[in-house]
Each structure stands twice: as structure tokens, then as C-alpha cells.
Structure 1
Amino acid sequence: MNWMLSSDKSWRFLQQNFSWVADMSGVMQDPIHHAEGDVSVHTRSVLAALISLSEYQQLPVLQQEVLWSAALLHDVEKRSTTRTDHDGHIVSPGHARKGELTTRQILFKELAAPFAIREMIAALVRYHGLPLWVMEKPDPQKSLFSASLRVDSHLLALLAKADVLGRECADTEELLNRIELFELYCHEQQCWRQARKFPSAEARYRYFSTDNAPPDYQPYGDYQSQVTLLSGLPGMGKDSYIQQYCLGLSVISLDDIRRQHRIAPDDKMANGWVVQQAKQQAREKLRRSENFVWNATNITHQMRQQLINLFVSYNSRVRVVYIEVPYVKWKQQNSARTYAVPDMVMDRMLTKLELPVPEEAHEVIYYIDGRIESVFL
């Protein structure tokens, strides 16, 4: 697999050709933690520090490109989150989480990265601060295990190291020590350079959905039914997936409910009513222990979690299937639909896309352009 964000890695070229790089200039940072200057200066310093690391130089070429791309993008959304707090300090709350969404959008729409590469870069952006702060999380183990299902902890530690070396601050040594402790913790918790293993998918789901659950406990999987929860932007091919892989299963479709009641897709006032009608249908099927498909976009974690909690409360096993095709094909498929979604609406939904993560359900499948793929490169 070969891919490059850019063959020309000069800062001048990047600034001139990518608006999101140009936006880094003038985004100020707190001088206590970033005396080097704005986000542009910091990002250039991080890239320089990264490529000078012997550990980086020993990586395969593709992993080098993934890590370099993540370093370029790691603070991309400080442009939208930076503010001065009540103490006069410059802060950027949520920039990593929002940066993940922006990274995914850029590498899907603008630069067309293969799925696994895109998701590894997005995860590196999302978790780039974890090696520094994992022990301050409410549940360090669960935070680490969650990240390990999506990102190579070795690459994450290298990104964090470059991030520290690319700043001017008084606590550099302390921060580097934190990264060393992170590496030791990964080894101790059996997720250094690999996803944390669980006895089964059911054990993984129970661990993440239950407080204080031991990771090696194997629950008894006596389910009453199975629900297939589809996730994907409009026009990605959810109906085609149902026709190919879900024959014989009943389908609850929010679009069908809207059409039956002549409700426009953009009628936000009616959305709550449509969802309640669909949930009522689901409850009836769950009471009968009937397997079925829930067909809707479900592009955010919150949307999916509400539904998964409902299904699990009826002792149902939940399979989430995320469906995606390349950007150009997506636009073509949408245009060919009987009920095409306006491009402006499609692009707005793309900015909100949160991919299902492995711990969300008993099983999470990524069906990408006609085949199953992994988020772990």
C-alpha cells in the first residue's frame, strides 16, 4: 500500500496549497507551554523534531508518512477552539477531538487516503495528548485500551515525543518522562504496538460498557436476538448492503417512515417523532426476540449509543456495520438515487461524521467499497 499526503514537504508548498495549513499562522498559544510562538511555528518545529528521531527513521516508509501526516495535522483545529480563559491563559479545549473529524474529512474528500491509513492518522490526531495525560484520566486503563483498539501506541508515543520537542517550555524533561511512563504502562497492560486483546467480542463490549469490569472476564452470551445497526452517510450504499447481506430480515428505516407520512428529509421539527415511531417498531420486534436491521445514517456516537442501549436492554446482541465508498463514487451514487440529498447537506453531514469505534457494540464491521476492512493499519 502506497500513499503520500504530499511529495513536496516544504512549508512554503504546504501553506500555499492547503488552506488548513495556512490557517495555522496567527493562531496563538500560551507562552508558558509554547514559548516558540503560534501553531504554525510549533507545527514546523514538531515536524523537524519528528524526522530527526532515530525511531522515526527506522520505521517503514508508509508508517513514516502516516506519522508525518499526523504531526502536520495534530493541532489543525486550534484555529477553531483557541480562546483566552478567565485567568488570561490561552487554551484550546477539544482541539484534538475536533481535529480528528477535520482530519477524516480532509483525507476523505481532499486527499483521498485509503481507509486504514486515514483512520490511523485521524486516531493519532485524536489521541496525540494521551501519552502525556493518560494517568490523569478518570480511568487510565480504559482510556488506554480504547485508544489501543484504533492506534499503534508506538507511533502515538513518537508523535507525543515530537510534540514535546517541538515546543519551548520549562517542563520538557517532565513531559518526556511521562511519555516513557506511558510506554511502560502500555507494556504492562499488554497493548504496546497492538490492540488490547479480550477473550471475546462480548467480553470487550462488557468491559467498556460496565464500570469496574475486569478485562479478562468472559460473560455468558445468551442473547434473545441480534440487531444490525447500519451507519453511514446518505448515498453510501446502505440499501444495497441490506439487499446483499440482510435478506429475510425485517428492516426499520427512518427514510421509509418519513416517506409514508410525507415528511420532508430536512424537516427537523418532525425528526423526533420519526425516531419515536421507529423505536416503537423496534421495541415490538425486541419483545418478540426478532432479528432486524435498523437502517439510518447514525453518524454520531450519541445517535448510536442511544439505540444500542435500547437494544441491549432487551438482551439483544448488536452488530454495527459502517458503510463507505470513496468520495467521488459517493457523490455519483447519491445523484443516481430516487431521493437524492442536496450536496450542501451531504457536505455538512460529512463534517459531523464520527466513525463507530470497536468498543461501541458487540461487533463493529467496516464495509468499505465492497469489502470488510480494519481500522488498525
Structure 2
Amino acid sequence: MWSWKQMAALVPHAAGDDVDWAACLQAFPQLELARTTPQDPVFHAEGDVWTHTQMVVRELLEDGDYARLAPAERETVFLAALLHDVAKCSTTQVDDHGRISQPGHSRKGALDARLMLWEAGAPVAQREAICRLIAVHQMPFFAFADSRRGLSPEFIVRELSWQVDLHLLVLLARADIRGRICPDVGNVLVNIELLRELALEEGCLRTPRRFASAETAVRYFRGAELHPDYALHEEPGSQVVVMCGLPASGKNTWVAQHHPGLPVVSFDDARAELGLRHGQNEGAAAHLAVDKARALLRAGAPFVWNATHLSRQMRGKSVDLCLAYGARVQLVHLEAAKPVLLERNRNRDTTLSNAALLSMLHRWEVPLPTEAHGLQLLASERP
């Protein structure tokens, strides 16, 4: 298995530098499947996914803005380009008319890249920067062409600026459309440039779009019709720390160290109180934990909500409940290296096997800054 240091060493500094394609395939074995993964010939007349990927990477290196990036930025956008279609092999569908599509490949690709880079020991923040670029790499194509979610270009740009460095996203999108043989390349490049210009107008090409307050941002990204510069009135409410992370990632230890005096709402504690094993009658355990959270929220008391909260959907239920009571929510995502995680799980008192723990990885969606009032991405140390 390749280490993060070895992966980062693959990254060229400028257009004239060679790409070691054989080493790229060794570092990311899933890319081998790209060689035999077909694409729709209308939008990818160049052929298979690996051919397209190589073309995209070459276009990225030819972009004059690439050489002007800082080393860590080059690593981020290069690896995002290399892995941007890594999940096409597992999402390919052929309809009754022979048309090829890969629905959801961006989102699935972000998850696949996360697992590969996690096992390699990539720094958490940089890994997530890569994965977020992969997850939204096609958004610049459509932000001005059509609104697939019924959202305005302004909303899309503001939201994206909180997830990725838009300058890097523009570089990736330009390379992606140039690195293929398809009609209408010119119009797509215009859409990408329009997104870039709007980001400049909004002051968020390299940094998140500024909001009047964290409360304004949270409500805006949840669909409230308000302007980012409008400061909402905030009633005093609970201050809630919502923990996220795989079992055995060190959440209990972190809570004990950083919030020793706060009440803790925990699904594990609810299971223990009800005498349940892991995976047994999860609904009853969740109901008990939510009831305890509601009581604390009604009282306006600060507390920690300690659970895995692995997927955005599961986190959303907890965060939405807190926001309904006017609480201020801080997400804390904690993780550990794979060997540490499995060792901890073996040595702790739990009914959760290592095999069951690893099966949870397919649901691992690291939180985004748009989900709550604040977000911390942390890596726990070996005990």
C-alpha cells in the first residue's frame, strides 16, 4: 500500500514535468478498471475513462494557473483530477438504447477517494479538499446552463465557496471539459468562466463567501430566503456539540477532555440503559436519546450529542432538531488511522466486531462547513 508521502511525490510541478502513469495506477489500483470502463461516445468520443483521465491531467498541467499554485494546492487539484472519475467503473449503466451513463459517480468517487487517502495517511483537511473537489467537479458546467436543483447561480457559488477553493474547482472543471472529445466545449468553458466571475464579484474565489453571522449562513444554506449580509436576531438557546466519527475513533475520550462538565446524549448509553446489543432495536435506543436531547434543548442547556453521525442524512436529523429549538451547533468530526481504529475496537468492551465496523465505511460522509454553525475536522492520536 502506498503512503501519502509517496502519493504526493507523484504530483508534477509544471506542464513540462512528466507524469508517471504506471506509478499512478500502482498508487490507486481502482484506476486500473478505468482502462476498460466505457463512456457515452456523444460526450466522450475519446473512449474509455482512463484515456479521458490522462487527457484531463495533461490539460490541468498545461493551464498556466497550475504552475502558480502553492505545492499543497497542486497536490490537491492534481489528485482530484486523477481521481475525479474513479467511481465511473462502479456506476456504469447501459440503457435499452445502448446509451452509457454513470449516475452518482461524483459523490461515489469522493467516498472512494476518501477511503484510499485515509488508508494512505493523508492529512485530514487536505484529503477532504480533494474529496470535495471530486464530489462537485461537474457543478461549474451547469451552474449557469441550468439549475438542476432549482437553485440560482448566486446560491450555488456561495454554497460551493464554503466547500471548496473555487479557484481550484475552476482549474479542475476547465481541464475536465478540455480533456475530452465532445460537442459544445466552448459554451461549457463560458459557463465555467461565468462562475469564476461571479465568485470574484461575491469575493469568494479563494475563500468562503462572508456572511453577516453564522446563524445567517446556517439558515441560508437550509433554504431561508435572506441575504448573506443580513444579520438574523438570535434568541439564547442551547450550545450543542455534535460529535461525528466512526466507532473507536476517540469521541468519548475527546468529550471527556474538552467538555468534562457537560451532559452527554449518547446512543451507546441509551443502548446500555435499555440492555441492547449494537444493532439491536436501534429505534428504541434512538428514541430514548432524542427524548433526552429534547429535554436539554427545551431547558436551553448546553450538551454534547455523541454518536457516529456518519452520513449527512443521519447528522441532519440531529442538527435539524437542535436548530428547531434555536440551538447553536458545533460539529466535531474525529477520526483515527485504520490500524489504530481496529486495535482500539478489539480492545474495548463492545459488541461491534471489526468486520461490522469496516462495513460502515461505505456510509462515511465527512461533514461540510455548511451543515452547522461551526465545524472541526480532527484526527485523534494513538493512546
TM over 0.5: yes
Which letter does structure 2 place at the counterpart of 1:214? H
* Alignment length (residue pairs): 366
Q: Does 1:52 align with 2:54?
A: no
Counterpart position of 1:134: 143
Counterpart secondary structure, 1:321: strand
Counterpart position of 1:185: 198
Q: Does 1:121 align with 2:130?
A: yes
Counterpart position of 2:116: 106
Which letter does structure 2 place at the counterpart of 1:32? V
Q: Does 1:238 align with 2:245?
A: no
Residues 1:362 and 1:16: Cα distance change in structure 2 (over 3 Å): closer
Report the alpha carbon displacement of residue 40 of structure 1 after superposing the two structures with TM: 0.9
Q: 1:190-229 residue pairs with structure 2 within 5 A?
A: 190-229=203-242
Counterpart position of 2:7: 5
Report the alpha carbon displacement of residue 146 of structure 1 after superposing the two structures with TM: 1.9
Contact preservation (8 Å) 1:3, 1:62: no
Distance 1:321 1:74 in 2: 27
Contact preservation (8 Å) 2:52, 2:180: yes
Report the alpha carbon displacement of residue 196 of structure 1 after superposing the two structures with TM: 0.9
Residues 1:3 and 1:250: Cα distance change in structure 2 (over 3 Å): same
Contact preservation (8 Å) 1:301, 1:356: yes
Q: Does 1:321 align with 2:323?
A: no
Counterpart position of 2:320: 309
Q: Which of 75, 89, 92 does residue 85 from structure 2 map onto? A: 75
Distance 2:251 2:8 in 1: 33
Distance 2:212 2:329 in 1: 18
Contact preservation (8 Å) 2:39, 2:48: yes
Report the alpha carbon displacement of residue 341 of structure 1 after superposing the two structures with TM: 3.3
CA deviation map 1:30-62 (0-9, x unaligned): 111100001011101111221122221222222
Which letter does structure 1 place at the counterpart of 2:104? G
Which letter does structure 2 place at the counterpart of 1:197? R
Counterpart secondary structure, 2:143: helix
Counterpart position of 2:277: 264
Counterpart secondary structure, 1:252: strand
Q: Does 1:64 align with 2:74?
A: yes
Counterpart position of 1:95: 105
Report the alpha carbon displacement of residue 297 of structure 1 after superposing the two structures with TM: 0.4
Report the alpha carbon displacement of residue 156 of structure 1 after superposing the two structures with TM: 0.7
Distance 2:143 2:33 in 1: 29
Distance 2:232 2:96 in 1: 48
CA deviation map 1:235-271 (0-9, x unaligned): 011111111111221111111121222211033xx11
Report the alpha carbon displacement of residue 76 of structure 1 after superposing the two structures with TM: 0.7
Report the alpha carbon displacement of residue 24 of structure 1 after superposing the two structures with TM: 0.8
Report the alpha carbon displacement of residue 3 of structure 1 after superposing the two structures with TM: 4.5
Contact preservation (8 Å) 2:265, 2:305: yes
C-alpha RMSD of matched pairs (Å): 1.8
Is the deviation greater in 195-204 or in 28-37? 195-204
Is the deviation greater in 129-138 or in 39-48? 129-138
Counterpart secondary structure, 2:7: coil
Report the alpha carbon displacement of residue 86 of structure 1 after superposing the two structures with TM: 5.2
Structure 1: runs of 5+ lacking an equivalent = 371-377
Counterpart position of 1:27: 37
Distance 1:295 1:250 in 2: 10
